[in-house]
Structure 1
């Protein structure tokens, strides 16, 4: 049971807005700056996959990244973590002028987004998985929907019962979601993951996206090996990724070896490490890069321990 719980972990990551997926390239040793001393940290057993939700619909070409979540598997520590990078972060994009970080994907796809994250925040990215909104809905439906606890305000928002909020939804009289645990299909889960009308705008929206991933994790934990293999086969043609099926299978084995379904959640910028500003007419978050780099070295690579 334990190994099947972990196997699903991989897919779960995959299944949603962000998907599953596996590890790939190995960077055996990563040099980080820990506090005031330079330290070399062995990261050969730490693998990170960037899960990208693209703000693209219909026949549109590549758009900005609506969500960027780094899923990190640490085999030595036996942990899985999700680190969200907020889309309004104002950073330098290699080859372009400074702007919101979500523009990097529109400018240069996965490669440029990875380079932007690595240069600004000192993280290493081993692979990428990207889905757009329509594919996201399909992925959630393929895992049979997800179970999520909603507030009454969130339930009303999904069903379109509250027209006074920012970005109101069409009224759906055939949906009867209420406060408490609800079973959401792909369309409902997407509305929830994109909701920044209830709570603290994009901050709460970031938490909702991670909640969706965790719910997918929980939903898939009881699938057997054959079911998980079939799910990967069905999902692979629907996503854009630089990972091969072989990579994904290897990553699944890594997840199985962890022996836990605990997931830690983080957000960049860290509280107290940024200033809201208006630059060139844009409302952005200007991060303290040194503080956020140190925070990431601690939570992902255990610098200073």
Structure 2
């Protein structure tokens, strides 16, 4: 009887060990596969000099800010790979280990800022004038930030990413439907592709073309302010979709997403960043937009629209939100 129990116990132990071994092998294989696919990422080197990137020393007054890593995210408005591109979407993505969350902070693209070598103009022009390095330098110098790396994607690449994760869940409003459909027609003409129109409002799964058109809407009552909300909604929806796919499908997702990104991050840094994101919990993603309504106003200078803002207040609000986890009122 005892020998039979021992045999049964031994059999259960072997089964458990086999399961653990398989799980470990799956993890190792997934990480190795992801690392191989990192070679497909389009890497653009930028300066590693804090001085050249205008990294601010002001943020050093915040304790433990080394636990908060800020990456610039640029959504590029371009029709071909070779044209100088303005950054239609500008965000600071903060991996906040201290407060265990990820923060998406949009900066209004029309913000009236100083761009080195180009005087004062719109923030989104910096990328077109000097690529990601000048764009990062401009954010750091105007908002006293410490950004050293970036990730960029154009709208054709974003479309592919969304389709590769199986679309994203978006709450579409009635006043957004026509703008989505018209936006898709413009892109479809360039691609020589067909479109699937959005017919009704409500929470629904949008494909790549639909979601990109949604993110680009600016002619509703909220104008460009609401546009930044939509951009963050789409990025957050992608993160949520990746999480729901589960660990077993993660290597395939990685292989489909990475080739559509341009970044200054090394392969090792991307893996660490991904690990940090999952460790923090993708559910805990917060969003904010700067400048706040009360601290900015649109104005015409030489017949061109700019968004002027209270620089001192905006810097203070951004720093408190990103480094101290204090959400502005």
**Shared fold per TM-score greater than 0.5:** yes
Number of residue-to-residue matches in the alignment:
272
After superposition, the Cα gap between the structure-2 partners of 1:174 and 1:50, relative to the gap in structure 1 and judged at 3 Å, is closer
Aligned to 2:8: none
1:30 offset after TM fit, Å?
Answer: 7.4
The question of whether the paired residues in 2 share the 8 Å contact of 1:46 and 1:73 is answered with yes
Matches of 2:98 and 2:142 in 1, distance apart?
A: 26
Aligned twin of 1:32: 58
- Point out the structure with max Rg over C-alpha: 2
- In the aligned structure 1, how far is the partner of 2:319 from the partner of 2:81? 39
RMSD: 3.0
* Contact map agreement 2:195 2:209 (CA 8 A) in 1: no
How far 1:258 moved relative to its partner? 1.5
| Residue from 199, 211, 218 that aligns with 2:221 | 199
What corresponds to 1:144 in structure 2? 166
Q: In the superposition, relative to structure 1, how do residues 152 and 303 fare at CA in structure 2: closer, same or farther (>3 Å)?
A: closer
Whose helix fraction is larger, Structure 1's or Structure 2's? 2
> Are residues 248 and 177 of structure 1, via their aligned partners in 2, closer, same or farther at CA, if it must alter by over 3 Å?
farther
Q: Residues 155 and 285 from structure 1, CA distance in 2 versus in 1: closer, same or farther, beyond 3 angstroms?
A: same
Partner of 1:15: none
C-alpha deviation, 1:176, in angstroms: 4.4
Cα distance change of structure 1 residues 173 and 246 upon mapping to structure 2, 3 Å threshold: closer
The question of 1:108 aligning with 2:98 is answered: no
Q: Given the superposition, is the C-alpha separation of residues 173 and 61 from structure 1 closer, same or farther in structure 2, using an over 3 Å criterion?
A: closer
Quote the residue 1:16 is aligned against.
Answer: none
Q: Which has the higher contact order (CA 8 A, sep 6+)?
A: 1
Task: Specify whether residues 107 and 181 from structure 1 end up closer, same or farther in structure 2 by C-alpha distance, changes over 3 A only.
Answer: same
Q: Pick closer, same or farther for the CA change 1:194–1:259 going to 2, 3 Å.
A: closer
Question: What SS class does the counterpart of residue 232 from structure 1 fall into?
Answer: helix
Distance 1:259 1:30 in 2: 29
**1:259/1:139 Cα in 2 relative to 1: closer, same or farther (>3 Å)?**
closer
- The match for 1:45 among 59, 67, 70 is 67
Which ranges of structure 1 fall in alignment gaps of 5 or more residues?
A: 5-10, 12-24, 162-166
Which of 141, 163, 182 is the matching residue for 2:204? 182
Cα deviation, residue 229, structure 1: 2.8
Equivalent position to 1:286, from 308, 313, 324: 308
List gaps (5 residues or longer) in structure 2.
Answer: 1-26, 28-33, 35-47
